[in-house]
Amino acid sequence: MKIILFGPPGAGKGTQASLIQKNYNIPHLSTGQIFREAIGNETELGKKVKSILDSGDLVPDQTVVDLVAEEIMKDQYAKGYILDGFPRTVAQAEAFDEILANQNDALDAFIFLKVPEEELVKRILSREDGRTDDTEEGVKKRLAVYYKETRPVKEYYEENGTVYEVDGTGSIDEIFSRIQSVLDN
């Protein structure tokens, strides 16, 4: 099963990805994790990403796609994976679909966690292991970037008919139950 777990910052993607991983026995793959491993293993791509991040720049789409493509070729992902934090742009989504097509493969589900903005802000500001920019102003800035650059990825996948919109409000278990309904059907 190949799944993209998608939604704005604070939607609960990481939490739900962990539950999907445990219940369906498929690995959870986040771009942050891929970056850290590539940098730690000092791969060519890892060195490139480290120099980009050290300079304060964003990692270009093609570099992110290359890292994900390199990672999903590993044996542990042969039966599937949950992508969290990728794709972040339509260009990344198009490149990812091309990679899957070249492998005669396709995405099984694009799960969009729908959460009202007020709830997102509340969740992010109450995180115990928050980021340095987890202020109301910082959160609103991240959400603005999400709506401008990342949200169009959902529209891209809607054209392919693989989007399942899930209510991302309620308890962790309630949300997971809704996701299970999608995955089990």
Confidence of residue 18 (pLDDT cuts 50, 70, 90): very high
Residue 50 annotated in active site:
no
Taking the model in full, what pTM does it have? 0.87
Confidence of residue 119 (pLDDT cuts 50, 70, 90): very high
Q: What pLDDT, on a 0 to 100 scale, did the predictor assign at position 98?
A: 95
pLDDT digit string, tens, across residues 61-98: 998 999 899 889 999 999 999 999 899 999 999 999 99
Residue 36 annotated in active site:
no
Structural domains of the chain, ranges and CATH numbers in brackets: 2-26+80-184 (3.40.50.300)
Q: Which of 131, 140, 148, 178 is catalytic?
A: 131
Q: Which of 13, 36, 141, 154 is catalytic?
A: 13
Percent of the chain surpassing pLDDT 90: 59
Please give the Cα distance from 153 to 135 (Å, whole number): 26
List b or e across 61-96, with b for residues whose CB sees 16 or more CB atoms inside 10 angstroms.
bebbbbbbbebbeeeeeeeebbbbbbbbbbbbbebb
Q: Which of 2, 88, 154, 178 is catalytic?
A: 88
Residue 123 annotated in active site:
no
Q: Which of 22, 114, 127, 140 is catalytic?
A: 127
As a whole number, mean pLDDT of residues 92-108 equals 94
